[in-house]
Structure formats: C-alpha cells, structure tokens
Structure 1
Amino acid sequence: MPSLPLRIDLFALIMLLGVAQGLFLGIFFLSGQRGRVIANRCIGWAMLAQAAIVAEIFLDYTNYTFRVLWLVDFAEPFNFLPGPLLFLFVYSRIHREPPRFWYLHLIPFGIWVLNSISWHHQPLTYKYNSYIESIHPEMPFLPWKMYHDTDFTGLRDYINEMTLLSCLLYSVGSLWVIAQAVRHEGRPLLGALPHRLAQLRNLTLFFVLFPVLIVVVKPQFKEDLGDYLLACYITFTIYATTLLVMSGSDFFRDEAPTPVPAGSEETPPGALRPKYGKSALPDELEEALLTRLNQLFEEERPYLEADLSLPKLAQRLNTTPHHLSQLLNDRLNQSFFDLLATYRVRVAQELLQNPATAGLKIDEIAGRVGYNSTSAFHTAFKRLTGQTPAQFRDSPASPPSARTSS
C-alpha cells in the first residue's frame, strides 16, 4: 500500500513524551499500596486512557499508522474515560468512596468498546482509506470491500461532539463537587484552599480547558488535522498532574535533623523534631502525637471552638502544622476539616437526642458545636450521617461514633 515517510518534529516529540509520562503515572497510581485507594485507581486509569489517546494521535501525525494499519482508531473508546474518571477521582478523593452506581458512568465507554469490535474486524484496505480520508485526503483511495456494518450505534460520525459533551459535563460536575466541599469549609472556590482541595481544583481547571480547546481547534481544521494540538494539551495536563503529585510529596523537601531525646540541649522537653521519610514523623513520635491529640480532644474539646485552625491545634500539641496534617492523613485518613466535622457532628448528635437540649434550634446547635454557618453544619451532618439534623432528631437514637484511633 502507498505510504508516506515518517514525520518527526517538535509536536511529535511532545506527544511521545506525553505517552511515556501518562504510562508512568498510570502505573505509579495503580501499583503497590497506592492502587488500593479508590481515588488513585481512578486517576491511574485516567492517565492510561489519556496516554492511549495521545498515542493514536502520535501514530497518525508521524505517519507511522501506515505501518500499523490494524491500530487505526484503536483509542476511540478511551475518549469516554477521562471525563468520568476525573469526576470519580474528585468525588472519591473528597468523600473517600465513589458515588452510588459509579459504574453507570462507564456505560458510554462500554458501548463504544462493543462498537469498535465491528470496526476492527475490517480489511486493512478499509482502514487505510479511513486513515487517509482523515489525515491525508490528498492521497488516492484503494479499492475496498467492507465485511459488515462498522457502526451499529450510528454515532461514529459524532464522536467529536460526544467527546466534547462528555468532557464538558464531567468537568463541570467535578467543579461542583469541589465547590460543595469548599462551601462546607466556608472558603471561596478560587481563593486560598487546603492543599488537597487546591490540587483538585487546579487539576479540574486544567481539564475544563480541554473542551474549550476542542471548540476552538476543531472548526479550524478539516477532519482530524487539529488533533495534534489537542494531544499536546493532553500532554500538558499529564505533566501538570505530575507537578501536582510532586508538590504534595515530602521526598523533595529538606530533611529535618533526626530527633534527639527530649530534655537535651537541642530539643526542649516535649518538643518534636521529626524527620522526613515514608512519614514526616517516626513511628514512636507519631504514636505520641496521636495519643496527645486524643487526650486533648477528649479533655478540652477544642473542636467546639469556631476559630480553631490547623496552626492553632498544632501549637497546642507542640508540633508543626505540616506534621499534624501528615499524621491526620497517614494515620486517620482525614484532613483537618474532616476531623473537626467528625467530632462536631458527634456532639451535635448528642445534643439532638438529649431531652435537655431538645428545644434548641438547629442553628443554635450548629453554633454550640463550632459552626459559624448553619448551611456548613447541615452539609457536614448530612455527609457523615446520611440525614439532616432535623431528620436525625426525629429518628430513633443511635450512638454516635467519631473518635481518632491509632
């Protein structure tokens, strides 16, 4: 069959780097202990899907597709994965579990996989003609015969529009989930946020620009000739994800001196001098800090203070905000604000079921447990109990459970 020489230029190099980094990130998130976390599995498969999409565009752009015609359009089903997987990642990262019926979001991908079976079982001449029609329309077509119908859905001609719609809907949905979490903490979406929420917001904003770029690029090019620009942007998002991962890692931070015994000249009694490694704190200091945190929460109940912040709590525990945040994430799998919400809701449950406080209004209870915003209290209570405060008050009493543990 006629072919063209390979084309290797800056765009080809960028796309190849995107494929390599996407494969690396996907394997990174899916391997070892990381792969047991639902959110990591979502972002890992999203990276692999994006790597597949960029790989197909790389083959088309460099003319290497002439040598592997059996791979023509192999990545089409993956167009329906980045959007849903981003949404599932954001949701699982915030709520620590996927939404109900999460698998329904993967139905379009499954349908397109079935649709692609008939497409791939076609003669190479058919795939050759399809490829040059999209990428090299100036080349002559070859005689061909189709084995059977290649599109039982009748939707292949609308793949670009459906990809755009999927990316747009799921990116907006992801921003909505983040906005709900931000509202719970009483912060603006585009302002300063806790590290975890800031990362999720920034990654989602990168993704939101993708459907915008589709709208701008596609009308400027006939058929698929603008795909290499989209592939370069996907590469950019892959590397942006890498930077976000690195920014949250302790590996690149200066290592603190090894702890010395309390009471020495270098360390005041009770002070912590942790080191970085697998955790920011050695095991014995982690246990000590966790014990002090439990004791403080049980005896002084600082979580009921409306102005309690991570730095203030760290100061009471004679540690740093970073080390306290590391402890909460590693040992309790909670952020600071999740921890506050857990304890505050537990106290609110007690107030709602106690006959002595049955006459209190919901907003009064919210104030007593440390919330300045009644809506934030409602959101936290519903998220942790599955009921509104009013519904919980009317339901049979159930013992609240919200404690830290080692």
Structure 2
Amino acid sequence: MSGNTWTAPTATGPLDAEVRVPGSKSITNRAFVLAALSTGPTLVRRPLDSRDARLMQGALAALGGRVEPQGDDVLVSPLAPEGTEPASVVLGNAGTVARFTPALAGLGSRPVLFDGDEAIRRRPIAPLLRALSELGVDIDDDGRGAPPFTVRGRGGIAGGKVELDSSASSQFLSALLLAGPSFESGVTVRLVGDAPPSEPHIAMTLDLLRRFGAAPERSGVEFHVPPAELNCPEYAVEPDLSTAAPFVAAAALAGGTVRIEGWPERTTQPGDWLRSLVVELGQRADLDANGLTVTGTGEIRGARLDLHEVGELTPVVAALLCFADGPSVISGVAHLRGHETDRLAALATELSALGAGVTETDDGLVITPAPMHGGVFRTYEDHRLVMAAAVLGLRVPGVEVENPATVGKTFPGFTAAWQEMLS
C-alpha cells in the first residue's frame, strides 16, 4: 500500500485458505436500533466494528442511549431521551443510520440535526421523510427531502397507517417497521409503486423484530407492527455474507478452496445467494455446521443474472464475470444508482477502463469479457468497489485500487485478510 492506492495482489496458483469475515452490517445496525428501543439492556455479541456501525453507535448516544464496548461485544442500553437541548447525529455515508434513526429522534423532546458526508445528501430518503411526517414526526428539511434536516421531538410518535413508496430502497420500509413498536398506535405500512429491492432485507427486519419481542404481520404489500415492549437480553450477529462475496469469488477465479468460517445454515441475509451463484457459474459450494467451503475451477461461465434481491453483490459479481467464457447480463439493479455512488456508472467506467467491455442498461450491465490490463481503479468512496477491484487483481497484475481505506465501511481489515488468503 502506498499513498492513497493499494496494489491488488495477483494469485500465483490455486488457493487453500480459511477466512473469517466480520459481523453483518445490516444485522448489526438493526440490532442496535431495536436494543435502543428495548425496555432493558441488550448484549449484542460479535457485531460489526466498522465506520457504519460506529456511526450508528454515535447516533444512539446522541439520542440519549448508552453504548458500551465489552471486548468483541457491545452492551446497548435503552434510549433515555431526556432534556430539550439541541443534538446532532452524524450520518457519514451510512444509509442505515440516515434512515433508521430519524424516527428515534421523534420519540424524544429535543431538536436533532441530521447531516453527514456530501454523498449522503444525494442518496434517496424523501419518501421516508414524507411517511414519517404523516405518522406524526416533526421534520424540517426546507423541502429538500434530503439531509441536512432537523427532527423536532415531541416526546412520542402517534403512528398509525401510511402509504410508502419504498422502490428506491427497502430501508425506507425497514425504518418504519423497526420503530413501529414504539409508536403509540404502532404502524401499518401499505407499499405503493414498484416493489422494494432486496426482499431478503425485509425478511431480516421482520425476523429481528420477532427476536426482540414484536409481532409484525404481513399481508401482501401491507405490513403491520403493533405497539410492543421490546426485550432481548442477548443477540448474536451472523458473519456478513455480502462481505464474504470477494472471497467466494476468489475461489472461483483463482481455483482451489476457500473456507468461510461461521456461514449460517439458515439466514435471511441476501448474501446467502452466493452459494447457488457459484454453482451456476460452474463451481462447487459445500455448507456444513462449520461454514461454507467453495471449491473453484478458475473457469467462469457467462450468465444472465437478475440481482434485484441481492443488488449489493453486483460489484463483485460484475468483476468476476469479466473473466467468463462468454458475455453476461446483470439486470434488476437500477436502484444501485442511489447507493454509496451510482454503482452502475462506476462499474461500467472502471471495468471498461481496464479493458473489459461493460455497458450500462436501464437496470443493469452487459459484460463482454476482453483482455484486461493494469491501471488505477477508482472506488468513489464505495466499499464494494474496493472489493470488486481486489477480485480483478487476482487475474490482472497492476490494478491500483484508489482509496482502499473506504472499505472500512464494512471490513476495516479487508486488505490484510485478502493478502493473507493469497499467502
């Protein structure tokens, strides 16, 4: 690593490695929110320790909670939103923090300013802010529908029924459902517009609500969460399966075997789809009580993949398909234009700059493999693009990954773990 770039290492032969990835970001931040809304403290075991997770911890502290690290675990005590002095929540570029915490501010009695990186101001949130306003949250955003905005707490939220367009992000729906047990009337959300992306993340939210003692119900596009007293003294976070994606791809691309420790036998995480993907691309995946073992051939089949439900895997999958035996099409991921960056534009630009034939469509990418060469791979402050660039480097010498530290959003130790896998 030199300056602000990292030279992605090249595989010199088949792999034989064992990898442990950190806890799931999606589960960690949902568990932190529900713990803060509970009636007693919750020991969250092995949560993710990364920028996004620390931003969530900071947000809860600003809103009157108490977060105490205890070794690899974190003890989260319930919000005690006393006082009327103004407070601030720092969002960084964390979508879960920006979307899950405004409702919590409405439960208190103080004005709370929400703002973060320039990138978070461009990420979609307006439909959620409108829905929260209709449910009784006092929000002042000067009509922007984006950060910075201020929530003026009134000591509680009425709740009730609301319509929501969650087509840009399933996090809008999850935000309302997670806070719903603390609303005076609970919450009933009826989805309008196109279906939300990433159905597994919705299932994850419902599962965590039940684990904490809520009783969510679903009927088609309507969701209901009645008022409830939440309580979960201890909750263990699963490994982040989306963060495991580049290691799974490495086995397929370099050949050999990579074992992912602790891969759950049952999970709501969308990253579990990787098991079926590698089989579709001609590899082998074996799951047992110890984790997932991926055995690769180094030969990748071209494929047509609808990634609507697993969009966050797109950067790594796109990089992998640059080495397929024929063209591939990724579809169903138009919503990626509103993630940390416009991921479709970024992938088309950066992969093409290194020689691959990658073009954008309305909702995805067309990838035509071609000889690739080294060069700078820009990452646009997007952790998943760092991981995609690392996958490219397995086969392409001289891939210089810009701003590798941005991977700290979900895996601060990624580059060291990647190097160790190849050693």
TM (normalized to structure 2)? 0.30
Higher strand proportion, which one? Answer: 2
Structure with the bigger RCO (C-alpha within 8 Å, sep 6+) is 2
| Larger helix percent | 1
When Rg is computed on C-alpha atoms for both structures, the one with the higher figure is 1
Scaled by the length of structure 1, the TM-score of the pair is 0.31
